Amino acid sequence: MAVAAKSTSEPRQPKGPSEPMSLVVSSLIGAVLVLGCVALVLRGVPAAWEALAAAVGIKDPIVLIAVQITLQIAAAIGLIYLSSRFGATGQRATGVRGGIFFMIAIAFVGLFVIKGLINTAGQGFTFAGIVVMLFYAVLLFLIVQFFRTGRFSTWSVTVDQAGWFDTHNYKRTQGLRVRRLTILGILLIAGSGVWTLMNHNYMPQNARVKLPDGTEVSNRLGDWVVGGTVLEPDPKKYPPEENRARPRVDGGVTLLPDLQFTVPMILIALTLWFAWRAVSYPTFADFLIATEAEINKVSWASRRSLIRDTIVVLTSLFLMTLFLFVIDVFWGFLLSREMIGVLPTEAQQQAASQHGDNQPVRDW
């Protein structure tokens, strides 16, 4: 008789790409690729177009800016399409998109922290400087703990599974009106902030300075430059009427050019994406869908009923105002009588006005 024997060795589960260390490496590689694509769009395309325009002889600023923006938009759309196709055909670990986001955010925060530490240490060890350095040290400690405790992997997977970096629209045919109004509200709030940022010139701006050989260059004070040196104008070499007494940044690496335009564009793009994903977040989307369902249950008044009710409200408001006016006049007249003496009489008010003040002659 044949007896089926159970295998004593359990099948080994293959390690997927969602292991913590693999997720960190994949997120780091993805962050480098994303930043490289951003650098290509913001710096590579403009530099290539400037070289091509100089070789062809195009000098019209309107044509230069229009073509540059068109090329940048086309390059961004092409890179997004290629990345989406690569993500659709390749195997992607859960949490990679969230990990890329956290990697880029931590890179920017770490860059600011290290730069702040270097600048603070260069100014001397004062009490305020020590406090600021301790604050920066705490931020660095939190960044290290973020990776050491495994929260990077946990948060990356949570954000990725929540769909914040996914193009899927949750229940896209339901709650359309409330969703669109919610998106409009988010865009109005963020747009007012961006408009204030641009209208009040809160961002640094670039200007043109003239070098001794007569060429004009950007002073790069409106760019985000890392590792550059600020050169103050020399009155002997740079007369104020030529360089307009402006310092300029020499050397370094430009991370973001023209902050007065780049930062608002980035904020608008992030707001559009946040508004789109917020109304597709399952919990919030279900709330909006239920809200629209409740609104559809409301029984709205007819046009005739609305006009009749409006007339009733306005008439009641007028009668109440008239009643309060009559009561105020009556009590003012009654209490200003000399036999009651609560309010000053007309004669006392005239005497007070003749004395040049608004205080009554009698001390009430």
Backbone φ, ψ for residue 126 (5° rounding):
-90, 175
Query: Is pLDDT above 50 for 221?
Result: yes
Query: Is pLDDT above 80 for 50?
Result: yes
Q: Which residues pair with 224 in a beta bridge?
A: 256
Tens digit of pLDDT for each residue in 247-277? Answer: 788 887 777 778 888 888 889 988 998 998 8
Token duo for residue 50:
């400037």
Does this model's pTM top 0.95? My answer is no
Mean pLDDT of the chain: 80
**Higher-confidence position of 166 and 142:** 142
Q: Once rounded to an integer, what is the mean pLDDT over residues 55-73?
A: 86
What is the spatial distance between Cα 112 and Cα 238, in angstroms, rounded to a whole number?
32
Tens digit of pLDDT for each residue in 302-328? Answer: 889 999 999 999 999 999 999 999 999
What is the spatial distance between Cα 87 and Cα 30, in angstroms, rounded to a whole number?
11
Which is nearest to 239 in space by CA: 212, 208, 206, 207?
212
Our CA dihedral for 193, 197, 202, 206, rounded to 10 degrees, sits at: 150
Q: Once rounded to an integer, what is the mean pLDDT over residues 6-34?
A: 65
Q: Is 245 left (phi over 0), alpha (psi -120 to 50) or beta?
A: left
Tens digit of pLDDT for each residue in 189-217? Answer: 999 999 998 888 888 888 877 776 777 77
What is the spatial distance between Cα 213 and Cα 216, in angstroms, rounded to a whole number?
9
What is the spatial distance between Cα 324 and Cα 336, in angstroms, rounded to a whole number?
18
What is the spatial distance between Cα 242 and Cα 246, in angstroms, rounded to a whole number?
10
Q: What is the pLDDT of residue 265?
A: 85
User: What are the distances in angstroms from CA 210 to CA 96, 206, 213?
Assistant: 47, 13, 8
- Cβ of 113: how many Cβ atoms within 10 Å? 18
What is the spatial distance between Cα 209 and Cα 232, in angstroms, rounded to a whole number?
12
Residues with Cβ within 8 Å of residue 209, at least 6 apart in sequence: 216, 217, 218, 219, 233, 238, 243, 244, 246, 248
Question: Which of the given ranges, 5-19, 89-103, 126-140, 236-250, has the highest pLDDT on average?
Answer: 126-140
What is the spatial distance between Cα 363 and Cα 348, in angstroms, rounded to a whole number?
11
By percentage, how much of the chain surpasses pLDDT 70? 85
Q: Is 248 helix (H, G, I), strand (E, B) or coil?
A: strand
Q: Identify the burial level of 244 via C-beta atoms within 10 angstroms of its C-beta, where 0-12 means exposed, 13-18 middle and 19 or more buried.
A: middle
What is the spatial distance between Cα 229 and Cα 221, in angstroms, rounded to a whole number?
11
Which is nearest to 86 in space by CA: 20, 19, 14, 37?
37
Spatial contact of 171 and 283, defined as CB atoms under 8 Å apart:
no
